[in-house]
């Protein structure tokens, strides 16, 4: 750019929100500068190639949507494969299919028909409510997540598949977690292991870097560039508008207090065998196992004989943790305190001239990938620019 000429947009964060925004802005003839504090673009969908395998460095990302416009759009950037998410749960060396379906119920109880499964679940629900001393089911209001889960699915599903995983994920006992975390637990009375109900799902062929690189093609990017140390005080000298996808409370210097986050860290291993666990995602629901799941990355993109053609494999153990300064925030903690604080920050953000807050961190909401892209597409759908 010419000296002193401003960018139209300074985009803080090169994840899906920032990269998609830059793509559509460029198509409208806008000049963008995308910055990211990490040494790479792509945010949490970034992949590192190890032993010929695209490793999801920040956890498993499976693209799924029923929005045909979003699906068609991402496939114009890179073709997606046929990957179908069918995770396995492991509890004390026994395996169970997820989501909860007829395969799961057969593995738990040996039932073979939906009628038998429904009868067993209803019996366990009644037993759980009786143990809690609940006689008036219609007026029952669960006090915590454990009571909520027991009232929905009974003790076996809760103890084997929910309790340990949830306590590891949130770092506190289920009896101390609010019930709204699991407002409902889908029970499928079919032998269907497809985790999602969406019309479309898959992984970009060649990994998510192909998608990000396509979105950012021709856009100026700076990595290892922290907004708060480089541009916080002078961004208006650099750009007409700011697109901010970092933590909303940090933008306002934590003026109202700090929002709580859960985070995760990973231990990655190269195994000298072609196939370690036979599935991309295995959840460990036993509380004694410190990690929540093990990801075997090759199964996202290699199928059938191709699995064995690659002589090694890469697996990642995923460990949930309390967020602290210097870590990456992953999941908002949507309890009453944080939701109230987040809304106060959202009100402040709406008063910021020429600043657009977006993404999971900027909105303090957990978003799947497709809705994030859909939000940006909607912003640029009209004649006026965001």
Q: What angle do CA 82, 200, 364 make, to 5 degrees?
A: 115
Task: For residues 95 and 104, give the distance between their C-alpha atoms in angstroms, rounded to a whole number.
Answer: 9
List, by residue number, the catalytic residues.
Answer: 184, 188, 262, 293, 318, 366, 368
For the segment 198-225, the average pLDDT, to the nearest whole number, is 98
For the segment 181-186, the average pLDDT, to the nearest whole number, is 85
Please choose, from the candidates 76, 36, 49, 81, the residue with its C-alpha nearest in 3D space to the C-alpha of residue 63.
81
Task: For residues 183 and 181, give the distance between their C-alpha atoms in angstroms, rounded to a whole number.
Answer: 6
Q: Which residues pair with 322 in a beta bridge?
A: 262
For the segment 15-30, the average pLDDT, to the nearest whole number, is 97
> What's the pLDDT score for residue 118?
98
Residue 185 pLDDT grade (very low, low, confident, very high; cuts 50, 70, 90): confident
- Residue pair 14/198 in contact (Cβ under 8 Å)? The answer is no
Residue 4 pLDDT grade (very low, low, confident, very high; cuts 50, 70, 90): low
Report how far Cα 231 is from the mean position of its chain's Cα atoms: 28
Please choose, from the candidates 358, 371, 347, 338, the residue with its C-alpha nearest in 3D space to the C-alpha of residue 261.
338
> What's the pLDDT score for residue 67?
98
Q: What angle do CA 110, 116, 121 make, to 5 degrees?
A: 90
Name the class of domain 7-79+201-256+332-379.
alpha beta
Written as six digits, the tokens of 54 are 């695209």
Q: Write the pLDDT tens digit of every residue in 270-297.
A: 999 999 999 999 999 999 999 999 999 9
Q: Write the pLDDT tens digit of every residue in 81-131.
A: 999 999 999 999 999 999 999 999 999 999 999 999 999 999 999 999 999
Q: Write the pLDDT tens digit of every residue in 39-68.
A: 999 999 999 999 999 999 999 999 999 999
Phi, psi of 167 (to 5 degrees): -65, -35
Q: Which residues pair with 9 in a beta bridge?
A: 32, 241
| Long-range interactions of 346-353: CB distance < 8 A, separation 24+ | 346/248, 348/252, 348/255, 348/256, 349/248, 349/251, 349/252
Task: For residues 211 and 75, give the distance between their C-alpha atoms in angstroms, rounded to a whole number.
Answer: 9
Residue 2 has pLDDT above 50, yes or no: no
Q: Write the pLDDT tens digit of every residue in 247-277.
A: 999 999 999 999 999 999 999 999 999 999 9
Phi, psi of 44 (to 5 degrees): -75, -10
> What's the pLDDT score for residue 3?
44
Q: Which of 171-175, 369-373, 382-386 is predicted least confidently?
A: 382-386
Domain edges within the chain? 7-79+201-256+332-379, 113-182
Q: Indicate the pTM of the whole model.
A: 0.94
Q: Is 37 exposed, middle or buried (0-12, 13-18, 19+ CB in 10 A)?
A: middle
Which has more pLDDT, 368 or 137? 368
Task: For residues 357 and 121, give the distance between their C-alpha atoms in angstroms, rounded to a whole number.
Answer: 44
Q: Checking DSSP bridges between strand 63-65 and strand 200-202, what pairing results, if any?
A: antiparallel
For the segment 336-342, the average pLDDT, to the nearest whole number, is 94
């Amino acid at each position: 750019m010419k000296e002193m000429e401003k960018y139209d947009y300074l985009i803080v964060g090169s994840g899906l929100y920032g990269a998609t925004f830059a793509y559509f802005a460029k198509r409208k003839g806008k000049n963008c500068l995308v910055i990211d504090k990490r040494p790479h673009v792509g945010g949490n969908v970034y992949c590192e190639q190890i032993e010929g395998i695209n490793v999801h460095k920040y956890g498993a990302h499976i693209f799924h949507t029923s929005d045909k416009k979003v699906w068609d759009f991402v496939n114009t950037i890179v073709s997606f494969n046929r990957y179908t998410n069918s995770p396995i749960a492991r509890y004390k060396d026994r395996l169970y299919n997820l989501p909860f379906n007829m395969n799961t119920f057969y593995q738990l109880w040996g039932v073979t028909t939906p009628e038998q499964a429904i009868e067993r679940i209803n019996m366990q629900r009644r037993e759980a409510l009786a143990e809690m001393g609940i006689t008036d089911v219609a007026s029952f209001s669960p006090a915590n997540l454990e009571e909520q889960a027991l009232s929905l699915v009974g003790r076996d599903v809760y103890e084997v598949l929910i309790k340990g995983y949830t306590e590891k994920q949130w770092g506190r006992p289920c009896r101390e977690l609010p019930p709204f975390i699991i407002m409902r637990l889908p029970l499928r009375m079919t032998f269907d292991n497809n985790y999602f109900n969406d019309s479309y799902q898959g992984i970009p062929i060649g990994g998510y870097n192909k998608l990000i690189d396509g979105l950012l093609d021709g856009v100026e990017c700076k990595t290892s560039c922290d907004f708060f140390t480089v541009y916080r005080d002078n961004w208006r000298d650099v750009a007409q508008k700011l697109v901010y996808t970092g933590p909303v409370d940090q933008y306002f210097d934590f003026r109202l207090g700090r929002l709580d986050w859960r985070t995760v860290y990973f231990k990655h291993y190269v195994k000298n065998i072609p196939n370690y666990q036979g599935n991309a995602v295995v959840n460990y629901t036993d509380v004694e196992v410190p990690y929540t799941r093990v990801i075997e990355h090759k199964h996202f993109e290699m199928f059938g004989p191709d699995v064995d053609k690659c002589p090694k494999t890469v697996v990642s153990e995923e460990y949930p943790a309390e967020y602290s300064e210097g870590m990456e925030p992953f999941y908002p903690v949507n309890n009453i305190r944080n939701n109230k604080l987040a809304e106060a920050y959202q009100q402040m953000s709406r008063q910021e001239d020429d600043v657009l807050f977006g993404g999971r961190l900027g909105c303090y909401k957990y978003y799947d990938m497709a809705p994030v892209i859909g939000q940006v597409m909607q912003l640029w759908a009209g004649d006026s620019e965001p």
